[in-house]
């Protein structure tokens, strides 16, 4: 079975396979690094991560390119206000972006391409477009793309552009008007602005040309897949297609994937609405990175997702259930043999998981059979009906699940610790959940030492000391669970 993914361009589910049978070439629009990303941005990156991980699990190699837009109007404005060169200004947000991706367990694309490092490729592409008669230069030295030169304009977003005015221009990168305009390929330098001296004049690239040039640089003139959030469909991706196909006379990306928005009370989470949370905001409220990952990927990419704190609490519980189950399964003292029902359950869970993801990456439907298996196996273990061959059948299902979802290893302490450090350094410690500060005052080694001391105290029948240690740990947000397999602990 192969993955069938909705293709915005064709309006249907299309099989997604490498054209040359080797690696699938994919381009994903990356961040504009003028500020910290919010979790709406990360929803898109996480869904692309689910896609690339699932492709790899299914045996398809990927060549994934993501750009970083490190020059644009907002960056130039903010860097100017901060009195910094743009490279210095963007560095803090580039670093933060990669830190956040790591915290959320988003795999690094094979290639990260920065706009400022690909100016020659952009200039060359503009020259090609001009040679094809579709670019023109205006009085101030800026270059525009002539929409009238590309009759297929609108084929991705399916907008009716019949009323298009020839020669009407727009020089901002983002615009929402239905009536399309000739858009800027190259913006002439304004006094004091960052610019590059090139054969087409002194200036800087428009946003759209960046992605066309960098995608072609690393993936060729035609490639399999282009991804981004739904807001990029028009005008950004429409413009990418127009520029690229005018220059090459070849289809640009064959398949277009658009991730629907993360919403807050029905409105797009965005900087301009002021209704956003960054990853650090949530970590400092005491939510774990893994719970944020699950909350953002458990709703399939083609459905808008309304953000709520309840969904983070649900995700926390779900992860807890999975991790506890796996620890129990591994630690359990079980006899040789097999339970045919569990063998069947494991097979069905695996099949259900793959079928759901093959069906347009339906993450919600993929989770259901895994939790069903956990329920069945827990019940079997309670009744002494889970045997060694069952464990051997169930662990690989969890392995496949985790190759995509990546939640089972507890790596949550580090992102939280880093967020706290950042809060201290930036004077925001007052916003931090108090139990988080208390919990962080104990390192993992401290906790282990106290747990060992408590076990020894209990053995020596010094229950007063054992209880005092439990109380101290609880106060610092560490919960102990006594089981017949020993003591487990976790942070609240
Ligand atoms: P930006 O840094 O604004 O260029 O956005 C980076 C990525 O995040 C793009 O693919 C956007 O489409 C996507 N994006 C922005 N806001 C949201 C949102 N509320 N939900 C999902 N994706 C978003
Ligand atoms: Zn782009």
Cα of 332 from ligand 2 centre, angstroms:
50
Cα of 210 from ligand 2 centre, angstroms:
7
Q: What is the CATH number of the domain that holds 159?
A: 3.40.50.620
pLDDT above 60 (res 205): yes
**319 & 430 share domain:** no
Q: Which tens digits make up the pLDDT trace of 71-92?
A: 998 999 999 999 999 999 999 9
How large a percentage of the chain has pLDDT more than 90? 80
Q: What is the mean pLDDT of the chain?
A: 93
**345 & 216 share domain:** no
**Ligand 1 pocket mutation, candidates 40, 115, 173, criterion most atoms within 8 A of CB:** 40
For the beta carbon of residue 437, count every other beta carbon within 10 angstroms. Answer: 16
pLDDT above 70 (res 175): no
**85 & 182 share domain:** yes
pLDDT band at 446 (very low <50, low <70, confident <90, very high): confident
Cα of 69 from ligand 2 centre, angstroms:
8
SS3 per residue for the chain:
CCCEEEECCCCEEEECCCCCCCEEEEEECCCECCCCCEHHHHHHHHHHHHHHHHHHHCCCEEEEEEEEECCCHHHHHHHHHHCCCHHHHHHHHHHHHHHHHHHCCCCCCCEEEEHHHCHHHHHHHHHHHHHCCCEEECCCCCEEECHHHCCCCCCCCCCCCCCCCCCCEECCCCCCCCCCCEEEEEEECCCCCCCEEECCEEEEECHHHHHHHHHHHHHCCCEEEEEEEHHHHHHHHHHHHHHHHHHHCCCCEEEEEEECCEEECCEECCCCCCCCCEHHHHHHCCCCHHHHHHHHHCCCCCCCEECCHHHHHHHHHHHHHHHHHHHHHHHCCCCCCCCHHHHHHHHHHHHHHHHHHHECCCHHHHHHHHHHHHHHHHHHHHCCCCCHHHHHHHHHHHHHHHHHHCCCCCCCHHHHHHHHHHHHHCCCHHHCCHHHHHHHCCCHHHHHHHHHHHHHHHHCCCHHHHHHHHHHHHHCCEEEEEECCEEEEEEC
Query: What tokens does 390 get?
Result: 């069952």
Mean pLDDT lowest for which of 41-45, 339-343, 477-481?
477-481
User: Which ligand has the shortest distance to the CA of 67?
Assistant: 2
User: Which ligand has the shortest distance to the CA of 211?
Assistant: 2
pLDDT score, position 108: 97
Closest by Cα among 71, 239, 96 to 156 = 239
User: Which ligand has the shortest distance to the CA of 39?
Assistant: 1
Q: Which tens digits make up the pLDDT trace of 400-416?
A: 999 999 999 999 999 99
**37 & 154 share domain:** yes
Cα separation of 239 and 258, whole Å?
15
Residues with CB under 6 A from ligand 1: 29, 31-32, 40-41, 43-44, 228-229, 231-232, 259, 261-262, 268-270
User: Which ligand has the shortest distance to the CA of 241?
Assistant: 2
Cα of 372 from ligand 2 centre, angstroms:
39
Cα of 32 from ligand 1 centre, angstroms:
9
> Mean pLDDT throughout 306-334?
96
- Residue 112 and residue 98 in contact, taking contact as beta carbons nearer than 8 Å: no
Cα of 69 from ligand 1 centre, angstroms:
13
pLDDT score, position 216: 98
pLDDT score, position 490: 85
Q: Which residue, judged by its Cα, is nearest atom 11 of ligand 1?
A: 229
User: Which ligand has the shortest distance to the CA of 115?
Assistant: 2
Cα of 44 from ligand 1 centre, angstroms:
6
384, 405, 426 - which closes a domain: 405
**342 & 314 share domain:** yes
**283 & 419 share domain:** no
Cα separation of 143 and 415, whole Å?
44
Residue 70 vs residues 188, 194, 258: alpha-carbon distances, Å: 17, 11, 22
**300 & 383 share domain:** yes
**344 & 460 share domain:** no
**208 & 273 share domain:** no
Cα of 215 from ligand 2 centre, angstroms:
9
**336 & 463 share domain:** no
Ligand 1 atom nearest 43 alpha carbon: 21
pLDDT above 90 (res 179): no
Cα of 428 from ligand 1 centre, angstroms:
26
pLDDT score, position 34: 95
Closest by Cα among 390, 381, 384 to 347 = 390
Ligand 1 atom nearest 268 alpha carbon: 19
Q: Which tens digits make up the pLDDT trace of 331-377?
A: 999 999 999 999 999 999 999 999 999 999 999 999 999 999 999 99
> Mean pLDDT throughout 46-57?
98
**Ligand 1 pocket mutation, candidates 34, 40, 41, 268, criterion most atoms within 8 A of CB:** 41
Cα separation of 294 and 79, whole Å?
35
pLDDT score, position 55: 98
> Mean pLDDT throughout 433-446?
80
- Residue 297 and residue 47 in contact, taking contact as beta carbons nearer than 8 Å: yes
User: Which ligand has the shortest distance to the CA of 231?
Assistant: 1
pLDDT band at 163 (very low <50, low <70, confident <90, very high): low
Query: What tokens does 24 get?
Result: 């699938």
Cα separation of 390 and 379, whole Å?
13
Q: Spell out the residues 6+ positions from residue 168 whose beta carbon is closer than 8 angstroms to its own.
A: 179, 181, 182
pLDDT above 70 (res 101): yes
Host domain of residue 150: 4-259
**Ligand 1 pocket mutation, candidates 74, 229, 279, criterion most atoms within 8 A of CB:** 229
pTM of the entire structure?
A: 0.91
Sheet holding 61-68, edge to edge: 111-114, 61-68, 23-28, 223-229, 253-259
Q: What is the CATH number of the domain that holds 335?
A: 1.10.730.10
Q: Which residue, judged by its Cα, is nearest atom 17 of ligand 1?
A: 40
**Ligand 1 pocket mutation, candidates 26, 44, 70, 210, criterion most atoms within 8 A of CB:** 44
> Mean pLDDT throughout 37-50?
98
pLDDT score, position 362: 98
368, 385, 405 - which closes a domain: 405
Query: What tokens does 427 get?
Result: 């004077």
**324 & 250 share domain:** no
370, 385, 405 - which closes a domain: 405
pLDDT above 90 (res 199): yes
Q: Which residue, judged by its Cα, is nearest atom 18 of ligand 1?
A: 40
**25 & 157 share domain:** yes
Ligand 1 atom nearest 37 alpha carbon: 2
Cα of 138 from ligand 1 centre, angstroms:
31
Structural domains in the chain (count) = 3
pLDDT score, position 483: 79
Query: What tokens does 67 get?
Result: 């750009």
């Amino acid at each position: 079975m192969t993955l069938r993914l909705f293709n915005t361009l064709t309006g249907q589910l299309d099989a997604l396979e490498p054209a040359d049978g080797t690696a699938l070439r994919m381009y994903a629009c990356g961040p504009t690094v003028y500020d910290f990303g919010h979790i709406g941005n990360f929803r898109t990156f996480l869904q692309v991560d689910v896609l690339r991980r699932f492709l790899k699990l299914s045996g398809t190699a990927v060549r994934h390119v993501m750009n970083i837009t490190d020059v644009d109007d907002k960056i130039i404005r903010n860097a100017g206000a901060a009195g910094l060169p743009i490279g210095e200004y963007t560095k803090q947000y580039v670093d933060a972006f990669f830190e956040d991706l790591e915290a959320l367990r988003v795999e690094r694309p094979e290639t990260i391409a920065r706009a400022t490092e690909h100016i020659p490729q952009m200039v060359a592409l503009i020259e090609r477009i001009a040679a094809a008669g579709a670019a023109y230069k205006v009085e101030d030295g800026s270059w525009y793309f002539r929409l009238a030169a590309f009759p297929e304009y609108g084929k991705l977003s399916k907008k009716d552009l019949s009323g298009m005015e020839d020669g009407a221009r727009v020089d901002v990168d983002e615009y929402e008007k239905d009536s399309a305009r000739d858009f800027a390929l190259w913006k002439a330098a304004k006094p004091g602005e960052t610019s590059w001296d090139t054969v087409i004049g002194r200036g800087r690239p428009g946003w759209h040309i960046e992605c066309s040039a960098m995608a072609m640089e690393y993936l060729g003139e035609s490639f399999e897949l282009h991804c981004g959030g739904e807001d990029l469909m028009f005008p950004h991706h429409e413009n990418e297609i127009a520029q690229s196909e005018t220059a090459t006379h070849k289809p640009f990306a064959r398949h277009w994937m658009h991730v629907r928005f993360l919403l807050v009370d029905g409105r797009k989470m965005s900087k301009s609405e002021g209704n956003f949370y960054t990853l650090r905001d949530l970590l400092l409220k005491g939510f774990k990175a893994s719970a944020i990952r699950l909350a953002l990927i458990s709703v399939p990419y083609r459905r808008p997702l309304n953000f709520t704190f309840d969904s983070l609490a649900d995700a926390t519980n779900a992860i807890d259930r999975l991790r506890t189950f796996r620890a129990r399964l591994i630690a359990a003292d079980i006899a040789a043999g097999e339970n045919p029902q569990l063998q069947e359950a494991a097979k069905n869970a695996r099949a259900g998981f793959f079928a759901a993801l093959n069906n347009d990456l339906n993450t919600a439907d993929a989770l259901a059979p895994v939790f069903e298996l956990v329920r069945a196996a827990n019940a079997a273990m309670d009744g002494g009906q889970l045997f060694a061959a069952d464990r051997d059948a169930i662990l690989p299902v969890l392995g496949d699940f985790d190759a995509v979802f990546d939640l089972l290893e507890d790596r949550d302490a580090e992102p939280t610790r880093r967020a706290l450090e950042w809060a201290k350094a930036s004077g925001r410690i007052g916003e931090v959940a108090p139990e988080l500060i208390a919990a962080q005052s104990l390192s993992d080694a401290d906790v282990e030492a106290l747990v060992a001391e408590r076990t020894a105290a209990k053995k020596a029948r010094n229950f007063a000391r054992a209880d005092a240690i439990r109380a101290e740990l609880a106060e610092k947000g560490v919960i102990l669970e006594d089981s017949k397999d020993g003591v487990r602990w976790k942070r609240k």
